[in-house]
Amino acid sequence: MKITSVCRLWRETILATPLAWTYICSAGIEAGRISAEKYSRFLQLSGPYMLFVKVDHLLNLCLSGRYFGAGHETCACLKIKLVFLEYSNRLRCLYTDISWLADTYSTIQFPNLEHLTLSACTNSRRLDMSQFPKLWHLRVPYHATDLTRLDFANPHRPHLRHLHIFVHDYSLWAPFFGMFTSSLRTLVLGGWFLNGQRSEGKLKFPQLRSLVIYDASETFSEQDQLLELSVPRLIYFLYRSHHKTLLPGIIWDHTELVHIRTTQLLNLCDYPSLRILQISDPDCKYLADIASQLKSDRTLCPQLHKIEAKITTTSLSIQTYTNVVYRQIYDRNKKAGSNITLVVGQEWLTSPPIPPHECEYDAPCYS
């Protein structure tokens, strides 16, 4: 670390701070940048603390090295083995390629690993997830990653509370969901939810509290519904899509839903328990519709107390729209006795009630 070269005091301080050495990123440990001895020292300095490791480039470097005849000299595979072979019991958070992990370390146990992010894989053997008995936070956010490579058949498989996956083929991810419906607290989905397939009934998530959906579907048809979730304890819902309106039927039984962040137009009558609405609305068109709904029906969303609109510019037309909406909200508050606050800006002011990542800031699984 360059900080050790500033002065003697800084060097002594950082060398005596084990937590400063617990984040290990493979990008800085190639053969030409740090020796195996120095890397071993790096691990020793981390002391007894848990390790956060990001190994995101090793497989490609190793394969390219073999192709060009350089072998392992081009990557850090030999040195990173120290982490898996000697320090696997201290790994808490790991970001790596599923193929490399399954093919090279299929027999190693990771008894204390809690957070795992798996990047895109090539053809490989299946990864036995019972190697991670304490795992509760799993991210597989890339569409090229085959979910069938994850083997949860072992009865000692982990019970996930946070799951982030890419959705495409219903026949693949629906059974995958089924194993964790009773344990999941946070679910993050990205992908295509409308692709000519139909769901086979609602998936029930009795404990789910936070749901994040990034819908990449380009077309919309009510006859083409891939996702139906029963979420009786959901309190936070984030939905982003190319569609103008929120797709109907995605969530059901959401009696405790209090916070929505979206890029779509909402029918407020569908969310009676709503307290905070955050809408990304560059032109303030959706915001005007929301205000119109509230003004026309004084019984809508009786607990709603804050609306945040995120805009990209502050042009004269936007200011004009905003002033109209402010007046409508003021009239609604005066006539209905409500206390709705409207905030328009370029950043969100209210954080989600449940952090989507639930990990250390800047950890490998946080990005």
Instruction: Report the C-alpha gap between 305 and 340 in whole angstroms.
Output: 4
DSSP annotation of 362: T
Element (DSSP H or E) covering residue 100? helix 98-104
Phi then psi for residue 140, to 5 deg, are -130, 70
Q: Rounded to whole angstroms, what are the CA distances from 22 to 49, 55, 92, 304?
A: 7, 14, 10, 43
- Check residue 63 and give its pLDDT: 45
- Check residue 65 and give its pLDDT: 44
Indicate whether 74 pLDDT > 50. Answer: no
Tokens coding 286: 């959706």
| Amino acid at site 350 | T
DSSP annotation of 237: E
- Check residue 84 and give its pLDDT: 75
Instruction: Report the C-alpha gap between 357 and 77 in whole angstroms.
Output: 28
Q: pLDDT digits over 343-358, tens only?
A: 998 899 998 877 655 5
Tokens coding 75: 């990557």
Q: Which residues contact residue 7 at a Cβ distance below 8 angstroms, ignoring those fewer than 6 apart?
A: none
Task: Report whether 256 contacts 233 (CB < 8 A).
Answer: yes
Q: Is 90 left (phi over 0), alpha (psi -120 to 50) or beta?
A: alpha
The average confidence (pLDDT) of the chain is 80
Going from N- to C-terminal start, the domains of the chain cover: 276-357
| Amino acid at site 256 | E
Determine the length of the chain: 367
Instruction: Report the C-alpha gap between 18 and 13 in whole angstroms.
Output: 10
Q: What is the DSSP string of 266-309?
A: --GGG-TT--EEEEE-TTSHHHHHHHHHHHH-TTS-TT--EEEE
pTM of the model: 0.85
Q: pLDDT digits over 164-186, tens only?
A: 988 765 556 677 778 898 999 99
C-alpha 123 chain-centroid distance: 25
Tokens coding 323: 């002033």
Indicate whether 66 pLDDT > 50. Answer: no
Which one is predicted more confidently, 162 or 73? Answer: 162
| Amino acid at site 267 | N
Instruction: Report the C-alpha gap between 228 and 296 in whole angstroms.
Output: 30
Task: Give percent of the chain above pLDDT 70.
Answer: 75
